[in-house]
Amino acid sequence: MADDNAQPSALPPAGPEFGHPLIRILQEFTLEANRYVDAAGERKDMHRTDMNALAVIMRHTARGIVVTPGLLRRELNLSSPATTALIDRLDNSGHVVRERHSADRRQVQLKMTPKAFREGGAIFAPLAQRMGTALAGFSAEELDIATRFMASMIEATVAARTESE
């Protein structure tokens, strides 16, 4: 006889299509993260591609990498016309400016504006706060293991994508 008060498992059962239960959890996390980005983008009248572009620009800029339209095109897997339309939207909305690179004046680089940083902070602060609260429930050792796991999953995903290209 089943216990009606039994708590569900933290991990859903794995079926043959998912393999290990963590794969299903990763898929669910990805879906929920995409839903968050879509909902947040709707509030700011921005498409997911626009938000992804700002994330790419922010990530590369933080690493000291000059962001060009070509880099953005490759990162987002867009055609040249789609990239131009994307940059035009971000420029017209005041989120990005085009500047000539100081070393090579022929090269255009993309930079986020203070407006983009403000709006990005407002969009993602609630998510960061909730995630920070969730992280607080884990030890440093557990977080280290989870960090290594996620890095491995990212590497596996990139490898699978590049193998199929």
Q: Residue 124: is its pLDDT beyond 70?
A: yes
- Which residues are CB-neighbours of 73 under 8 A, at least 6 positions away? 79, 80, 82, 83
Q: Is the pLDDT score of 127 beyond 70? A: yes
Q: Which of the residue ranges 3-7, 18-22, 69-73 has the most confident prediction, judged by mean pLDDT? A: 69-73
Is the pLDDT at 99 greater than 70, yes or no?
Answer: yes
User: Rounded CA gap, 20 and 131, in Å?
Assistant: 24
CA dihedral over 54, 55, 58, 64, signed as positive or negative: negative
Residue 8 has pLDDT above 80, yes or no: no
Mean pLDDT, all residues of the chain: 87
**What percentage of the chain carries pLDDT values higher than 70?**
87
The answer to whether residue 132 scores a pLDDT higher than 70 is yes
Alpha helices in the chain (DSSP H): 21-43, 48-62, 69-76, 80-92, 114-135, 140-163
Could you give the CA distance from residue 120 to residue 123 in angstroms, rounded to a whole number?
5
Can you give the pLDDT at residue 164?
A: 80
Residue appearing with tokens 């999953």: 153
pLDDT, one tens digit per residue, over 103-120 is 776 789 999 999 998 988
pTM of the model: 0.73
